[in-house]
Amino acid sequence: MPEGISDTASKTLPKMQYARLGRSGMKVSRIILGGMAFGKPTWEGSPWTLDEEASMEVIKRAWDLGINTWDTADTYSNGESERILGKFIKKHNIPRSKVVIMTKLFNPVMDDDSRPAPADPYSQELVNQMGLSRKHIFDAVDASLERLGTSYIDVLQLHRLDRETEPEEIMRALHDVVSMGKVRYLGGSSMATWEFARLQYTAKMNGWTPFASMQPFYNLLYREEEREMIPFCKAEGVGIIPWSPLARGLLGKPVGATSARNEADSKTKKWFGDANSEIVSRVEELSIKKGVSMASVATAWVLRKGCNPIVGLTSVQRVEQIVEAFEVDLNDEDLNVNFVCDMTELGTVRSEVRRVQCTAVGGSRSSPLPLKRTLESLPPLKSSLEETRSHTRAQIWSNPQIPVLVALDDDPTGTQTCHDIPVLTTWSVEVLAQELANTKAGSGFFILTNSRALHPPAARDLMIEICTNLKAASAKAGRPFEIVLRGDSTLRGHFPLEPEAAEEVLGQSDAWILAPFFLQGGRYTIDNVHYVAEGDVLVPAGETPFAKDATFGYKSSDLRDWVVEKSKGAISRERVQGLSLSDARSGGADAIAAKLMKGAKGTVFIVNAAAEEDMDIIVHGILRASAQGKKFLFRSGAAFVSARLGISPIPPISAEQLALDGTKGGLIIAGSYVPKTTAQLKYLREHSSDKLTTVELDVNKLLESPESREEELQRALATAESELQKPQDVLVMTSRKLITGADERSSLDIGSTVAAVLVAFLTKLKATPRYIIAKGGITSSDMATKGLGMKRAMIVGQAAAGVPLWRCDEPSSKHPGLPYVVFPGNVHLQEQLPVLHSPALTPEAGVVFQVHSLLTADATHNLDVEVASFRAVEGHVAIAVPLPSLHVGPLFRIQVHIVQETRHAFRRPLPACLVRRPRPVLDVLCKHSIRNPVVYPLARRRIVALSNCKMRAPIEPYRQGTTRSQDRNPRMKSLGVVQKRHRLSYRDESRGARFVGRMHVFSSEALKAYPSEGSAPERARKALSCNGEVALVQVACDDGVEVTRQNGCHLSWSGPDVVGGRFARKRLALV
């Protein structure tokens, strides 16, 4: 027992044990007294705090029982905790050498009873009063010494990590206070392992004082630190002194019991939920078995792990219970039976309790969350996505005056959720007027501004120019419009500069609506906090690498604070309101509309969303409020545009559907530097090394001089030209070390120089690749507009989740019709890039076919070229034929002949009749579509896929079997032996959409080219165009034409599925 106090304990308790602090020579008591409970009950949010008199009693009993190590912090009761400990030493005349005092610094010490968090980074009161700058470290140490009434601190600990201050400054300042004799040892607390390791090795490499201790959050309910922090500390010889071994008191009482602290502590309610009740129950069971308190069992478990826990105690009785932990014998059987549930199974995962480890200076104090449990805890959705999208379309289509939606996209990745709408890269009044006039009511289009690559003044000027032209084009076309400023879903971009510039031209809106949710990218907004999904954890956006962007970085994850931060205080927090998930899922569109209507002018609304259905409900509310006269300006992620237009998602487009030319290599261009891109490129190179050639452009050489830049460019061109012709796929990437300038402007200039080299590479490349994948938002924009000369492209769909696929058929563009994949730098799956790259069609063993004649709608073009690629698919032969890129109308007539049989891929040889007959084995119409190539039957077990071919020489118009009605309609000349035509309105019930088109019914004469296998009904073939613009329906028997109707109102057809070649039935409801 330490000397100085001779008071006798009321009962026999075990002796205190002592241990070295890590590898240091100093010994500490195995149980450390926590000082957070000592101070003033008036300290904000802490009514459970003891006053000075009560604190003295607890400290005295702890001292009597041998607890000679005390942990406090300057921020506890704003310095009062340190003062009480100092007074206790002086009152009881304790020799300073016999007590170990640990204190912490980082947070400010307020002048009143308020807490310093959340800190306002713009508050003058807190400038240099918090953090880990050299100035604050020196000031905080001197202030703590004065309050403690001592000349030195045994262990000075970092309460939190200052991520704004360089590690060298932090560790040098800490080393200096040790050198001055004011501090004996250093310790850390509550930070990520890699951050702690970085500080530790910064000190060691410079010969400065390293850390002797680490104070993590660790207990039976939270064991995340067993993954990294504890193994690292053991390897480094750092002592582990966990805080809150009782999990804020939850492990000290039965399930359901409460305390004053639990009631007042919002963190306890948020961090620990019902999932931990089983663990607490097991602690209670074992405490009864051992005849000790639950607190003793929980503390004994931490001691058994080799740690020296810091325990906050508020009564003499609890001090004694904690010391009893040394008598609790937890053998292996007890541990295995009672504590098998790890935090990854039944306990609270790290994402729910790691708030303090993810707090940056001045940032929102938002904690990571477990993805699955968080989504499951939300109010249930009442409707499916198709139901909500159908409701959106009904609202839009029922209003012919609804404005055309124009999405101004600051990089091409905003098209991540849309399909079958155009993207413009030019914005003259004439171009915009034509697009507005041709766009159907309720639809929209994108304008690629690429403003994120511009300096703020240039971005503002561009926004004013585009809005001015849109306003003039609207007047010229007589079509109203509204704009969406599509920005990055990780909150990077020119905000609030761009919406302010738009309002200068278009007039002030009633409110701004901020909606960064993007499901495919793992971006969720919950309780006004924006998260990025990383695996099974939702990480606050402010704690991700995106927030460290050299140009558009930020600290706040709470979008209310983010708006204040980005506006530099011009928009107050009171002006920002949330449209909550509860509003959307419980109140529905009416509740959203009511909230929007009540908002004062100038309000910024935050859209909370965790599912696509949430966005739809918000959109329904917005449409209702707009109908009542409200005017909104939107700043959104990719998901809002598709929700506002009612665009339903479609499956990713496969390589087979693209009908890629297997005789050429593909091209991947990567300029993005975000960590996910680097990881994806590494994964791609490791898993595709045999069929991928990498060309790395050295950024240092690109920036060195024009001569070295040109040398690098020519080297890359020579390699790519050669490899693409082999064919070998080529990856052109910039060197992975990010080079930034001294400020935002110089960083943008460096990026512009590198982007210009990538553009020059694509412009000068002579070989035509099989496809182009552009990795990164700015990179893909430059490649499309400057490298390929695209002025207008169609969004075909997505090549993978969140990865848009474009197609530009303009003859003026380079490589018209080539699949162009816009691969965002922030798409999170590292496997997605090689998955996109690997399945491209290549020639395989099978049957060589040749297309002999192709008649267009005006019958002026012919095709005579071998099929580009083919492959065996589930017992069928799928043949991909490129269609013409010329604007010749939607209908084509294809005649396919077998001209040679090489090795076949069938279980049995092809019928001899198919090889010998000179007449076509296929004579049908096809629909020009790259997204879903029409698939036609060749025989029951063989199909032919047709899409996207090049035209050769013109021939005379095809007039065999034409009628007078066909002569009057040039579009029908290609139909050959058409017997009847019917105008048909129909609804495809399998798609939930309504189409109007022309149904062409053929006579049996048109089917004589088919092989004569089986009965006549088996020879009947039917085909339907993929997007419903023109229905090509054929029902044939030997005795003539027959259109089958069921119940007089439905048309049924059987045929190959347009995607996979499997036979299917569809039901079309006649309207």
Cα–Cα dist 940/482, whole Å: 51
Is residue 413 domain-shared with residue 328, that is, in the same domain? Answer: no
Q: How crowded is residue 1049: how many other Cβ atoms within 10 Å of its Cβ?
A: 9
Query: How is residue 460 written in tokens?
Result: 């503002």
Looking only at the bridges linking them, the beta strands covering 529-534 and 523-526 are antiparallel
Query: How is residue 70 written in tokens?
Result: 């005390």
Give the closest residue to 1023 by CA, choosing from 944, 934, 897. Answer: 934
Helix (H, G, I), strand (E, B) or coil at 808: coil
474: domain CATH number is 3.40.50.10840
In a domain, 34, yes or no: yes
- Which distant-in-sequence residues (6+ apart) come within 8 Å of 400 by Cβ? 441
- Which distant-in-sequence residues (6+ apart) come within 8 Å of 665 by Cβ? 723, 724, 725, 726, 727, 728, 729, 730, 767, 769, 770
Give the closest residue to 101 by CA, choosing from 63, 64, 51, 45. Answer: 63
236: domain CATH number is 3.20.20.100
Is residue 592 domain-shared with residue 634, that is, in the same domain? Answer: yes
In a domain, 635, yes or no: yes
What is the DSSP secondary-structure string of 277-288?
HHHHHHHHHHHH
Which of 335, 367, 402 corresponds to the end of one domain?
335
Give the closest residue to 532 by CA, choosing from 208, 142, 111, 827. Answer: 827
Query: How is residue 919 written in tokens?
Result: 């007449």
Give the closest residue to 702 by CA, choosing from 777, 759, 767, 655. Answer: 759
- How far, CA to CA in Å, does 174 sit from each of 131, 168, 188? 13, 10, 11
Is residue 599 domain-shared with residue 689, that is, in the same domain? Answer: no
Looking only at the bridges linking them, the beta strands covering 1063-1070 and 1050-1056 are antiparallel
In a domain, 253, yes or no: yes
H or E element at residue 525 = strand 523-526
Is residue 738 domain-shared with residue 791, that is, in the same domain? Answer: yes
Q: Scanning the structure block, which residue is given the tokens 């079309």? A: 1068
Are 144 and 153 in contact by the 8 Å Cβ rule? The answer is yes
Is residue 595 domain-shared with residue 702, that is, in the same domain? Answer: no
| pTM given for the model | 0.50
Is residue 156 domain-shared with residue 25, that is, in the same domain? Answer: yes
Number of separate domains in the chain: 3
Enumerate the β-bridge partners of residue 1007: none
In a domain, 1041, yes or no: no
707: domain CATH number is 3.40.980.20
In a domain, 1066, yes or no: no
- Whether omega before 839 lies within 30 degrees of 0, making that bond cis, reads no
Q: How crowded is residue 95: how many other Cβ atoms within 10 Å of its Cβ?
A: 10
In a domain, 1014, yes or no: no
- How far, CA to CA in Å, does 567 sit from each of 119, 559, 577? 17, 12, 16
- pLDDT value at residue 742: 66
- Which distant-in-sequence residues (6+ apart) come within 8 Å of 540 by Cβ? 358, 364, 366, 367, 368, 529, 530, 531, 532, 557
Taking each helix axis from N to C end, the angle separating 638-645 and 612-627, rounded to the nearest 10 degrees, works out to 60
Helix (H, G, I), strand (E, B) or coil at 774: strand
Which of 314, 335, 356 corresponds to the end of one domain?
335
Is residue 571 domain-shared with residue 662, that is, in the same domain? Answer: no
Are 406 and 485 in contact by the 8 Å Cβ rule? The answer is no
What is the DSSP secondary-structure string of 13-43?
-PPP-EEESTTSS-EEESSEEE-TTBS-TTS
Q: Scanning the structure block, which residue is given the tokens 């240039």? A: 458
In a domain, 860, yes or no: no
User: Could you give the strand order of the β-sheet that contains 369-370, starting from the edge strand earlier in sequence?
Assistant: 369-370, 537-540, 529-534, 523-526
- pLDDT value at residue 20: 95
Are 1003 and 1040 in contact by the 8 Å Cβ rule? The answer is yes
Cα–Cα dist 887/858, whole Å: 11
Which of 301, 335, 369 corresponds to the end of one domain?
335
Q: Name the residue range of residue 714's domain.
A: 655-830
**Cα torsion angle, 104, 110, 112, 115, sign:** negative
- pLDDT value at residue 666: 85
Give the closest residue to 284 by CA, choosing from 292, 276, 272. Answer: 292
Is residue 639 domain-shared with residue 660, that is, in the same domain? Answer: no
Is residue 50 domain-shared with residue 74, that is, in the same domain? Answer: yes
76 catalytic residue (yes or no)? yes
Query: How is residue 689 written in tokens?
Result: 């090394």
Looking only at the bridges linking them, the beta strands covering 369-370 and 537-540 are antiparallel
- Fill in the amino acid letter for 977: V
Give the closest residue to 1025 by CA, choosing from 983, 995, 982, 1070. Answer: 995
Q: For the chain, list residues with pLDDT below 70.
A: 1-11, 116-124, 256-275, 332-367, 654-663, 672-676, 688-689, 738-742, 744, 777, 825-1071
Cα–Cα dist 1011/1020, whole Å: 11
- pLDDT value at residue 875: 29
- pLDDT value at residue 185: 98
- pLDDT value at residue 881: 37
Catalytic residue among 76, 673, 771, 1010: 76
Is residue 625 domain-shared with residue 660, that is, in the same domain? Answer: no
Enumerate the β-bridge partners of residue 870: 879
- pLDDT value at residue 333: 61
Instruction: Give the E-state strand segments of 404-450 in sequence order.
Output: 404-409, 422-424, 444-448
Are 578 and 586 in contact by the 8 Å Cβ rule? The answer is no
Where b means 16+ CB within 10 Å and e means fewer, 242-270 reads bbbbbbbbbbbbeeeeebebbeebeebee
Is residue 619 domain-shared with residue 686, that is, in the same domain? Answer: no
- pLDDT value at residue 793: 92
Is residue 732 domain-shared with residue 593, that is, in the same domain? Answer: no
Main-chain dihedrals φ then ψ at residue 552, nearest 5 degrees: -120, 30
Main-chain dihedrals φ then ψ at residue 806, nearest 5 degrees: -110, 160
> Environment class of residue 123 by beta-carbon count within 10 Å: exposed (0-12), middle (13-18) or buried (19+)?
exposed
In a domain, 598, yes or no: yes
